Structures are given as C-alpha cells and as structure tokens.
Amino acid sequence: KYLNYGTAGFRDNYKLLHGIFIRIGILASLRSSSLDSNCIGVMITASHNPEEDNGIKLIDKDGGMLHQSWETNAESLANASINDLNDI
C-alpha cells in the first residue's frame, strides 16, 4: 500500500506505519540540515478514532506543518523498498 503524506502526516493502521518511523527520523535530520540545523519536530499521533488509526508527522522550524516542497521526499522515503533506499 502506498502511504501518502498529507496535512496529518502519514496516518494509517499502525501495522503499516511502524516500519517508517526510522525513515521519518532520517528525513527530519535531512530537513534540519537543509535549514542550517534548525530544530525539526517529529510527532507520533494517536487519534480519537480506532486504536489502530495512528500517525507520524514532521513539524517544521516555525512550528507549522512540514513545508509542502518536502512532502514528496517524505513519500519517496516512506514508500521505498529496502533496495531503493540508496537511490533516494
């Protein structure tokens, strides 16, 4: 299943999300580096929906959503196969 990054970050069944948490940490580090090492937040969310409906998202240096220009990077990294990670 292809995971899409939206205003709520990645939101889906936790069984699909647990494998991308490390990748999102890597993306946060890359985003921080692109912003002269400013802090980037990583938020793990749980909603009022069923317990298997969870999410993870990045918070940009201004406290807002991840800049839209980086959403494609998030999706590419989250959806890449292990063999494709070196190409991203």
pLDDT (tens digit per residue) in 31-56 = 999 999 999 999 988 767 777 778 89
- Over range 4-18, report the average pLDDT: 88
Return all residues near 85 (Cβ < 8 A) that are at least 6 apart.
Answer: 77
Instruction: Indicate the average pLDDT of the chain.
Output: 90
63, exposed or middle or buried, with CB in 10 Å at 0-12, 13-18, 19+? Answer: exposed
- Over range 55-63, report the average pLDDT: 94
Task: Give CA torsion, residues 15, 81, 41, 30, to 10 deg.
Answer: 170
More confident residue, 16 or 74: 74
Predicted local distance difference test score (pLDDT) of residue 87? 76
Residue from 29, 47, 76, 81 carrying the catalytic annotation: 47
Whole-prediction pTM: 0.85
Task: Give CA torsion, residues 31, 34, 37, 38, to 10 deg.
Answer: -70
Q: Quick check: 25 pLDDT over 90?
A: yes
Q: Establish whether 47 is a catalytic residue.
A: yes
